[in-house]
Every structure is written in C-alpha cells, then in structure tokens.
Chains A and B, each alone.
Chain A
Amino acid sequence: MPQNSKKLNMVQAINLALKEEMQRDKDVVILGEDVGRDGGVFRVTEGLLELFGEQRVIDTPLAESGIVGVAIGMAAYGLKPIAEIQFMGFIYSAIDQIFSHASRIRNRTRGRFTCPLVIRIPYGAGIKAPDLHSESTEALFCHMPGVKVVVPSSPYNAKGLLISSIRDPDPVIFLESTRLYRLIKEEVPEGEYTIPLGRARIVQEGRDVTIIAWGSMLHRAIQAVEGFDAEVIDLMTLVPFDEEAIFKSVKKTGRVVIIHEAPKTCGFGAEISATISEDAMLYLKAPIIRVAGYDVVMPLPKLEDYYMPTEGRIRKAMEEVMKY
C-alpha cells in the first residue's frame, strides 16, 4: 500500500512509476532516442540510466520504426519494453510496426507469442512547438484492434495508469500531454498503486449535462463547467473505453458534450457519440455536441490558440444542449 506522498508534476509522476516498476521487475527496460544520458527530451526518464544502467535504459539510434520493431521482438522474447517516441508526429513512421505486428501477434499465433509493450508518446498542442510536435491523432490507434490506448490527465492517474500499462499483457499506447507535463502538481503516493485500464473516472458529479474529455482537454472542461450542474468524465482509457460509465451518466443527464483536441472528423468523439446514439438514444434530451480541433493540418504556434477548443467554445456547446 502507498505510504508517503509528495506533490509531483506529471513528468515526475511518470518518472516515479518507471523507477518503481524497474525496481520491481528486472524485465522492464526502456528504449528510445535520448532516453539515457539526456533523460529524454522532456526529462521523463531522467536519472534512470544512473540507477539501472545502459542494458536497461537504452539510447537507440534515431529510428522510430526500428525502436518499435525492436521493442516488439523484446516483448515477444519475454521482456517488458517501454519504448519512448519523442513526439506524436514521429510515431507515423512506426505505425506499420504497430498495426502490422504489435497489434496482431497474439491473434496470429493464437496466444503462443504476445506483445506486452508500452509505447509512451508525448502528444498535443500548447507548448508552441515546431511542425509535427503538437499532434493529437490518438484515434489512429483506436482503430487498431489488439492495441490499447491510454491518456492520463493528471500526475496521480498518470502513475497509476502507467503501472497498469506496464503490467498489461498487451501492447499499450500511452499518450502524455506535453501541455500537462509541468502544468499541475498533485499529491502522488510513493509505492505501488494501479488504476485499472478501461475504467473512466467521474471527476465531478452533476445532473444537467455530461462532459466527456481526456488528457489536457479535461482541465479546460473543468474550467468551462463552472456555473453548470455538469458531470465531468475523464475517460482515461480510450481503448477499451468505459461505455458503462458513460451510459450511467447519460441516463442521468440526457445531455452530452464531448471535448477533444484532435480534428473532429473521425476523432474519438465520433465513436463515443455513435455509441450513445446506438445504445442510449432514448435517454437523450438534446443532440450530442462535439467540441473538437478543426479539420485542418495542426497549425504552427502562431495559429495554435485558434485551433484548440477554448473554454468559450465548450461553454457555448453546453448552453446549446441546455436549450432543449
């Protein structure tokens, strides 16, 4: 059971989860670009090379597909590799490895080989970064059966979810919001605790409207709901997602606003909206509204603030559903 706790930001919380899991299990290894000597471009793996040595914290050549492919081989052999990809825009060259192999090894071999692998990827906008450093294309991975997709929204749940992801027997895409990395601090216990994958978190209860968000958008949602009797759901795991928690809330409120940073078309909000329409239509009092990024190429920093869902847009959507 957890004993001491400290106020940590998300970078520190993830670092602590990595450290504790590596102490617990010798099969856990980290690989990626700059993860060793440099402690990662966001310093998430800082200090781990010194603690665990270069056999377990592996600075690889610059090769995203190779990193993921090598991690797949390690996982199949019996290790629990955690691959770090520096930015979500850089994972695109490794999608072949994830889609063609990581996601289907268990199935293709009827369970003889498995792929217990975690791919940690910083994602999202808000840190004024160059091209391809602000992507939030999580829906790509939600369309790959065989892969799980996890997006923590706070230091506390980042640690608990990462521990669960490392121990999960299947490949997990673990998305870390760069905007949140150092934005908030909260009490994070030392020692082992897990947050189960596939379960959402009710951040606050409410009666009039259900707000569904994840990652960095959750915080914008929490700010925007002030003055509304809103129930806020932090989805935390996108695949498999907690349909039950959503239905329960929709039955209570009858109104839904979904918020995500990714472009609207085929964003994960579409899946949630369709699921509610299929299974909880009769409880709805108003159309479901998605507040999302626009269907544009993710802009560079000068236009970034226009792109991101704002508190204003979220409030407008809530007012809209309340009219019905």
Chain B
Amino acid sequence: MAELTRLIYDKRAREIFWQVVILLALVIVTVFIVRNASQNMVNAGIASGFDFLWRTSGIDVPFVLTDYTSNSNILGLLWVGVVNTLVVTIVSIIAATLLGFVVGVARLSKNKLLSGIAGAFIEIVRNIPLLFFVMFWYSLVINALPAPRQSIGIFSVAFLNNRGLTIPVPVEGSAFKIAALVILAGIVGQAAIAIWAKRRRDATGQIFPAWATGLVLLIGLPVLAFGIAGFATTWDLPAFRGFNFRGGFVLVPEFVALFLALTVYTAGFIAEVVRGGIQAVVKGQWEAAYALGLRPNRTLSLVVIPQAMRVMIPPMTSQYLNVLKNSSFGAAIAYPDLVSVFVGSALNNTGQAIEIIAITLAIYLAIGLAVSGFMNWYNAKTALVTR
C-alpha cells in the first residue's frame, strides 16, 4: 500500500500512467471509429477494402512522367499523382527559395527603389489568396500563348502554344544515361573542390575562386555532355498532325501555371523569412566584419547569412510544407497532381471515399514528415553549439 502511495506521488510514474491512459483511449477511439465506419458502409451497401487499387483505371492523364497509360491500374494512377505532386513541389521549392532570397535581400537594400519594389512585391503576393494566383497565371498562360496552328517554333524542333511546350525526346536514352553520369561526376568534383577550397581558406586565409570551376563543372560540362548525347541519339520530333503536335514530350500549361503561382506566392513569404533572419543578426556582426575589412557582399555571404540561416530554417520548413500542401491547388486548373487524379478521378470512379482519403492523407503526411525530418536534421547540423 505504501508502495502504491509512493507511486502516486512519483512524478515519473504519474507521467507514464497518463501517457498509457491517453494512448489506450486513442487506440480505443480509433478502433471504434474504424469499426463503426466499416459497419455503416456495409449496411449502406458501399464497397470497402483496397482491392480497387488493382482495377484498371481507364483514366487518361495529360502529364505523365511514369510509364502509366489508361490501361494501367489505379495504383499506377496513384503513383502518377504522387510523382506529379513531388515534381511541382520540388521545382517550386527550389525556385521560390532562390527568388525569396533575392527579394528578401533586396528588401533590405539601401537602394530605396530596389527595396521599395521588393516591399511592394511581398505585400502584394502575401495579401492575395493563392487560388487567385493559380487562376491568374493559368488564364495568363493560356491566353498569352497562340493556338497550336500558330505555334511559336523554337528552331523547328520545339513548339510553344496554349497546349503547352512540346519538346523532342530521345527515342533511346543510353547516350543520356552516360551524359547524366558525366554530370554527376561534375557535381561530385565541384563539391570536392568547394570543400577543399573552404579548408584551404580556413587554414591559410586564401580565397580560391571555386565559382570559376563551378561554372565549368556545373554548367559547361552538362551543356557539353547533353550536346554530344543529343547528336549521338535519335529523337522523337514533334510534328503537326490533326489538331496538335504529335510526338515528343509536352510540358503542359497547367504545370507552368501552378509552378509560377507556387513560386511567386511562396517567394513572398520566404522573402520575409530571409529579411527577418538577416535582421536577427546583431548589428555588431556587420560592424565587426567591416572592421576586419570585408566588403558588404562578403560580409553578407560569409558572416551574416550563415548566422541568419539558423533563424530562418524553422520558418522555412513551414514554407516548404506549405508548398507541398498548396500544390493541391493544381486540381483547380486540371494539373494532374495527387488530389486531382486520386481524390478527383479515382474516388469518383470507385466511390471508395474513405480508403482514398486515408491513402491521400497518409501520403501527404509521409512526404511532409520527410521534408520536416530533413529540415530538422539540417537545423541540428547548423545550430549554434552551446553549452
């Protein structure tokens, strides 16, 4: 009895007790909800289970990066949605980060015109709903570009019209695989040079122009490799037939519009994060750097930004997760993302709402957790070591 009383007053025991109680309650509620839902569905005559994933989808998707066709099963359709969501998310995150940095730094510029323009940009995009942006870019892209017959030809191999940008694709990709390996080697080489240059700078204070080798290895090498690969292979060239170009790969206007909308919109928020991060670095750091004779550019890139990064990473994670979630706005303009093809088409054709919504939630959760996991790792890596 005395033991028990002691347990009640033990803080640790109490904590464990309540955690177990809450966990049990959670399990019971979940089991109840699942059983209740499935029982009700059986009673209402609604099919349940995950067998539908292996049924033929029968849905034609205009923007496919996998080997999906309308003969594939619904699992294949799901994968198309996941890939399309990831592609637009990753590309938009990279572009928004670059644009956001530029705008954020410009916002702090001493040049009144530059900072004014950056400020106006930030305020405009932050105060307009994303859906409006998506629609705006979409109608702009569609209306600004000509109809297929009046396509803008680019060297007569690529064609731009309001159905998208049609580019030639290689019939057989082995030359490009070799080119990709060459490029990978270039990236690894540049990374090695950058690390070596940093070590040497730390040790001797001498600055090695790593950007110059970077120009060669990261831009020159890919251009060369793809150029050679391009000559070494045969191409599927777009040709006009019937209503539109046939052959090649089509970058659909929905992708471009969603990419532009996500990039511009998110860049507005990232710019504010960048500004906040830079302003969080105490003035003394600038002054100290100037006192050492560093120029403003170098002060910013070597002293201020590395410290600002620590402030910026957590809010940046939120922005990246927002891009992921906001990519579902693509459904509004028929970009075939996860929501559009799976929650839109597949759900309607199978009617299995609960399963499809659950799968979709799980996928967004998994991608989101992966993004924030990576950002947390990066945050821990760059965090100020304190004792």
Partners in one complex: no
